[in-house]
């Protein structure tokens, strides 16, 4: 039987690439995004597959649950918390509303949505994937709140993995830089974006889905990113020193 996948942040970047791949493999999809359905021209998005919910708003989780119930969707085999936002700039310059939105979309929404969707999971075989970031384990100047939100998300996943043992697998996957519109949306200056040489959203999407299949606890996408995460956790002093020097 086709598996039912619920995916947030399905309208762009890595999420859209995952949605395309999952559709090609015949999955039943529930795709969550904030854009109106009329603005989405892919055949993927239909009134039965697309749930419009702004994850920065407190009613987002209940909107998703209502959608599932109204559409009579089957239990969820794979739940992917992928939606994410960030803002680029010095921590002292970031305004309160932006900080709030970053924490709401990247942390509050996956926590609230997990809570609301637990009764809808296909236990005991379901998998919950949190799309985190290598920045959860690294100093991230100019994008500190984003990195903090991902570190907190890792903390939630770590505990949930133990709580849900025997009911669902919990995977917190850590991509590094990926060629999506996220950096532009976050306000990273064009000159800086042009220096990035990142893998495509599709390549990273494929790796995330593979990690979801394998069910390892906290995998990293890409060998270089795995080294960076290791240094972030085990060589904090030298890493801080090197990064401070690099900024001079």
Active site positions, annotated: 146
Q: How far is the CB of 237 from ligand NAP (least distance, A)?
A: 25
Among 28-36, 114-122, 164-172, 231-239, which window interacts with ligand NAP (CB under 6 A)? 28-36
Strand order of the sheet with strand 28-33? 50-52, 28-33, 4-8, 78-81, 126-131, 168-173
Q: Based on the shown chain and the rule CB under 6 A, indicate whether residue 85 belongs to the binding site for ligand NAP.
A: yes
CA distance 92 to 101: 16
**Is 35 among the residues that bind ligand NAP (CB under 6 A)?**
yes
Minimum CB distance to ligand NAP smaller for 111 or for 122 = 111
| Residue 114 touching ligand NAP (CB under 6 A) | no
Q: Is 175 in the site for ligand NAP (CB under 6 A)?
A: yes
Is residue 14 near ligand NAP by the rule CB under 6 A?
Answer: yes
Binding of ligand NAP at residue 178 (CB under 6 A)? yes
Within positions 188 to 217, which residues make up the interface with ligand NAP, using CB under 6 A?
Answer: 201
Candidate list 37, 181, 227, 242; residue touching ligand NAP; CB under 6 A: 181
| Of 104, 85, 88, residue with least CA distance to 9 | 85
Judge contact between 77 and 123, C-beta under 8 A. no
One DSSP character per residue, 193-214 reads: HHH----BHHHHHHHHHHHHHH
Question: How many chain residues are in contact with ligand NAP, going by CB under 6 A?
Answer: 28
Strands (E), 9-120: 28-33, 50-52, 78-81
């Amino acid at each position: 039987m086709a598996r039912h996948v619920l995916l947030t942040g399905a309208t762009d970047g890595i999420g859209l690439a995952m949605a395309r791949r999952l559709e090609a493999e015949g999955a039943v999809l529930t795709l969550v995004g904030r854009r109106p359905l009329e603005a989405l021209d892919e055949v993927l998005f239909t009134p039965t597959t697309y749930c419009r919910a702004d994850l920065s708003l407190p009613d987002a989780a209940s909107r998703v649950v209502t959608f599932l119930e109204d559409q009579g969707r089957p239990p969820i085999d794979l739940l992917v918390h992928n939606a994410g936002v960030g803002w680029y700039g010095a921590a002292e310059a970031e305004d309160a509303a932006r900080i709030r939105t970053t924490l709401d979309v990247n942390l509050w929404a996956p926590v609230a949505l997990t809570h609301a969707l637990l009764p809808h999971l296909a236990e005991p075989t379901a998998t919950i994937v949190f799309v985190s970031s290598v920045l959860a384990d690294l100093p991230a100047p100019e994008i500190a709140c984003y990195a903090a939100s991902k570190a907190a998300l890792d903390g939630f996943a770590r505990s949930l993995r133990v709580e849900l043992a025997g009911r669902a697998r919990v995977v917190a996957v850590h991509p590094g830089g990926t060629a999506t519109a996220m950096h532009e949306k976050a306000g990273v200056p064009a000159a800086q974006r042009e220096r990035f040489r990142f893998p495509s959203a599709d390549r990273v999407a494929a790796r995330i889905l593979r990690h979801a299949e394998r069910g390892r606890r906290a995998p990293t996408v890409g060998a270089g990113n795995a080294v960076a995460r290791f240094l972030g956790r085990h060589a904090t002093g030298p890493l801080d020193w090197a990064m401070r020097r690099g900024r001079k």
